[in-house]
Chains A and B, each alone.
Chain A
Amino acid sequence: MSTKIERKVPTELGTVSIGKLLMQYAIPAIIAQTAASLYHMIDSIFIGHIPDVGAYAISGLATTFPFMNLSVAFGAMVGVGGATQLSVRLGQRDYDSAKIILGNLATLNTIVGFLFAVISLIFLDPILCFFGASEATLPYARAFMEIMLYGNIVTHLYFGINAALRASGHPKQAMYATILTVCMNAILAPVFIYLLGWGIRGAATATILSQFITLLWQIKLLSNPNELLHLQRGIYKLRSNIVKGILAIGMSPFFINAAACIVVIILNRGLRNYSSDGDMSIAAYGIANRVQFIFVMVVLGLTQGMQPIVGYNYGAKKFLRVRDTLKLTIIWATIITTLGFLIGEGMPETVSRAFTTDQALIESSSRAMRIMFIFMPVIGFQLVTTNFFQSIGKVKKSIYLSLTRQILFLIPLLVILPMFIGEDGVWYSMPISDITAALLTVILLIGQFREWKNENINI
């Protein structure tokens, strides 16, 4: 392993066939995206099959999702901020500055992870209730979250160092670390949950333990003194200019993640207020959302593979290749989300059964899936086009579009619709927001193509 940051210009992006490039760039990104969501899914599946554990445990678990989103938001703030700075410095072969950024990243991760855990543990019950837990589901949510918070520093460091590994020219190792953690979790979870009989606590312990083992491996990788960039003495003391830089960059990913957390809170609270059985509905949303999320993640991975191809060819003014890449990515994304649609509409009971043995919950989560997935095929197009605008430097349009589906349209709908049609209002908000966002995306995309036509750009 050598720290060699190749600033080789990827001119192949302008010549090799688009199908081949898309595969080459998208597959690692898809693995990365899905892996992270996979282990939460694995946890959910194992917990759902603990004997005598019913809808309450699953509902309790669902109320911890926004909590973990929030923790990720803080972790990503430091991790992404640090990794971005790191990659700029390494690009300049400025190893002295890079080392200090790496050290500061680790220190800051530890501090933020610790503070988040302490504050959350103190206010654990009120926070979980605010996120949608009830008296019946609170014990399960608390049991899971307590362990997750004890290990919060590990989680933050694991993600932070992985981001640093990726930025420092070890994308493969970073990918192995992710896969390793997922696999270990899949093996350890049943051991802790069933064999040792720790139940829902066992799921959390397995997650933290697998992250901890991977963290040790990451530290070993980064401790090799032959590396130009490695962990060593004297790099951990915080420097105000580096901390400021990390936080300035990290604010944006923080807000993206925090927004996702807020939406789930509003959703959970809506279900609690309007449903006749709030716990059951929250659990149903937890399951349906897990399923939809996997397909969304695959598409997001795909779009990340598309970005450099579109970005390069747009920069090189090879507009036909830009158009073809967009077309191909939209086709693939639509295939993926349509597959999700078919599964969600055609066999939601079978899918739900993977997450729970509770018959009532199987029924309500199947119903949730049927509603949530109505317009799923268009989500692929919406996500790809949003990222397309980003790739060609139309940042404002891209942000606007990515906010519409999940925030600008969804939040008002979540608040207003239930006032008129009750619980169903919460459920139907999601597909309505999907389709309106997709329509808006079509309009903006057509507008963009018109603009190009006026500029005589043949795209």
Chain B
Amino acid sequence: MEKFVISIGREIGSGGKEIAEKLAKRLNISVYDKKLLEVAAQQSGLDATAFENADEQESSSFLGNMVALRNVVAGYFNAGSCMNSDALFGIQSEAIRTIAERESCITIGRCSEYVLRDHPCMISIFITADSNDRIQRIMQKEGLDENKAREYMERGDRRRKSYHDYYATTEWGAAHSYDLCVNSSRLGIDGTVEFIYQYIKAKLKRE
């Protein structure tokens, strides 16, 4: 069978990661989450921390631009040789493509649905959930009280959206940017996994 990639975008606390992992088990393929960064580090000779520091952070902060862009003003080298977050994103994208070429897999976040938009068999999915469920999940996972968890959620959404919309031309979390958007509160984690699994099966059959 041809290699396929499932790109999963997710809101913080939507259970996206858990869904991705269960899905991977059923499909018997790997999940690339933070592991993406390791591949990128390996390919570039850089240390993984360099990528972690820039990982899904707001890229277009005013302060960041102030200096980072002076490189562009007189940057007479390939964009790839300046180690700013734009360059790191470029290297990371290359890693995503390498992985997708090598094996069928699930990628999480990092604009992978945009990076792999030309992949012959890519299925993009966005997972959301009701706010209350998300807050509950964040409280449990991060050990925060309700207010802190809400703040954490809102900040996370802002950060992911700004990161995504800076690097991709599509809009984060909008239905028209993905093949399938699903609210995990409706069917629960396992129900959603089953639902997405059926969707993937149907889609792969059509190919």
Contacts and interface: CB of A to CB of B under 8 A. Distances in A.
- Say whether A associates with B: yes
A140 B67 CA distance: 36
Interface in A291-343: 300-301, 304, 307-308, 311-312, 314-317
Contacts of B204: none
Interface in B56-91: 60, 62-84, 86, 89-91
Nearest to B63: A395
Interface stretch (A54-62, A63-71, A86-94): A86-94
A311 B46 CA distance: 10
Contacts of B76: 28-29, 31-32, 166, 171, 174-175, 304
Contacts of B63: 395-396, 399
B37 to A, nearest CB: 12
Interface stretch (A10-18, A279-287, A443-451): A10-18
Given A92-B114, A94-B169, A316-B47, A10 B68 contact: no
A249 B93 CA distance: 21
Contact of A312 (B71, B72, B78, B81): B81
Residue of A10, A169, A301, A314 most packed against chain B (CB within 10 A): A10
Nearest to B115: A92
A295 B141 CA distance: 56
Contacts of B90: 7, 88, 91-92
A393 B64 CA distance: 9
Contact of A315 (B50, B62, B73, B79): B50
A393 B53 contact: yes
Interface residues of B, number: 44
B43 interface: yes
Secondary structure of the B side of the interface?
helix
B45 interface: yes
A377 to B, nearest CB: 23
A: contact size bracket: 35 or more
A308 B94 contact: no
Given A315-B46, A398-B67, A32 B81 contact: no
A35 to B, nearest CB: 10
B79 A91 contact: yes
B75 A316 contact: no
Nearest to A169: B78
B197 interface: no
B72 A308 contact: no
B56 to A, nearest CB: 16
Contacts of A10: 78, 80-81
27 contacts: A5-B78, A5-B79, A7-B93, A9-B45, A9-B94, A11-B45, A32-B76, A76-B73, A84-B72, A92-B114, A93-B118, A163-B72, A171-B76, A245-B166, A304-B71, A304-B75, A304-B76, A308-B77, A311-B82, A312-B46, A314-B83, A315-B46, A316-B47, A317-B47, A396-B63, A399-B66, A402-B67
Given A9-B43, A315-B44, 11 more contacts: A9-B91, A11-B44, A84-B72, A88-B86, A166-B72, A251-B65, A312-B46, A316-B47, A390-B68, A395-B66, A396-B63
Interface of B: 43-47, 50, 53, 60, 62-84, 86, 89-91, 93-94, 114-115, 117-118, 166-167, 169
Which 10 pairs show the lowest CB-CB distances between chains A and B?
A311-B83, A315-B50, A252-B65, A315-B46, A252-B66, A28-B76, A91-B90, A308-B81, A9-B44, A87-B79
Interface of A: 5-11, 13-14, 25, 28-29, 31-33, 76, 80, 83-84, 87-94, 97, 163, 166-167, 169, 171, 174-175, 245, 248-249, 251-253, 255-256, 300-301, 304, 307-308, 311-312, 314-317, 390-391, 393, 395-396, 398-399, 402
